[in-house]
Every structure is written in C-alpha cells, then in structure tokens.
Amino acid sequence: MKKVLVAFFSQTGNTEKVARAICDALECEKEIRRIDETLPVEGYELIFCGFPVQAHSVPAQVVLYLKKLPKDQKVAFFTTHGSLRGGSLPRQALEDAMGLTKHAKIVSTFTCRGRVKEEVIAALGKKPQHEAWVEEAHSAHEHPTTADLEDAAAFALEACRKARI
C-alpha cells in the first residue's frame, strides 16, 4: 500500500487548516504531522509539505526539513500567505522551496491566502515599501475560507493523480 505524508509548519493555524483539508481528501494510507514531528521521512510515496510564506521565502524550520528529504522523493508543496493568490511573493517562496529540493521530484504546488498576525502587519506597515502588501494582508483576514479548503482538497487529489497514487 502506498503511504502519503502531509507535513506542515504552522504558526497562526492557517497552514494547519489547509493541511487537514488535504489529508481529509486523500483516499490512501496517510499520516499528518507537524514538520518537527516528521522524522524519519523515508517510506512515503508522496509528501505534501506546507508552510507559511515568511519574508517572501521558506521558514528556517522548513528549510532544515527539506534538506533531509530523500533523493527522488515525490513532493507537493502548499503555502499560506497574506498576499493575493497567484502573486509574486508566494511564487518566490515556492521557487525557493523547489531550489532547496533539487534532488526531489516536485509533483505539484498550491497557494492559499491566510490571516496574517496583526503585529506583523503593523511592523511592516511602518515601511513605505510594504504599503501595497499591507493592504493585501488586511484583505486576507477571512482566509482560508471554505472555498480555499475545497481548492486544497482538489489539489490533493490532483497531486496524487500526478504521482500515480
């Protein structure tokens, strides 16, 4: 039986909600774990790896995890962020994650908006270069929505299809 792991790092609960929607949609043997609870990582046909976009990139805890993935491991990335969906900042974070896993086989990616901590918005709001992002982040306060979680479930099924699970 093919096993799938949904591994995630979450600080506000956004990424965890998406991870649970992904796991619930899977129709195979599956496990869900926080990134700091996921060793060993061998023995999974596919690993879904989720994280919040931080400073346009991958959080340090996730970087360490990605470096431990086995060669040729099939991976599907998902992120949560305060930016508009399809924007350059979440795309940059996914590109960074893919660069860290050149030895893996990236099956698919998914991004989802999520509520941003008010203290983060307030701190970045003091800098004029972040003005546009602050507006985007304020508009993400209701996310992830039911529709976002349905999209995450559809992503999970499509990633499994691509990975032939």
Strand ranges of the sheet holding 74-81, from the earlier edge strand across to the other edge: 29-34, 3-8, 46-52, 74-81, 105-113
pLDDT confidence tier of residue 13, bands split at 50, 70 and 90:
very high
In 3D space, the residue among 1, 9, 161 whose CA is nearest the CA of residue 78 turns out to be 9
Element (H, E) at 77: strand 74-81
pLDDT for position 161: 96
Residue 8 sits at φ, ψ, to 5 deg, of -145, 155
Q: What pLDDT is stored for residue 1 in this prediction?
A: 61
- pLDDT recorded at residue 164: 94
Q: Which two tokens stand for residue 121?
A: 């918005």
pLDDT at 84: 75
Provide the percentage of residues in the chain whose pLDDT is more than 90: 67
Q: What pLDDT is recorded for position 132?
A: 78
Q: Give the pTM.
A: 0.92
CA distance 2 to 124: 44
Structure confidence by residue, pLDDT tens digits, 89-146 = 889 999 999 999 989 999 999 999 999 888 887 887 787 877 777 788 888 889 999 9
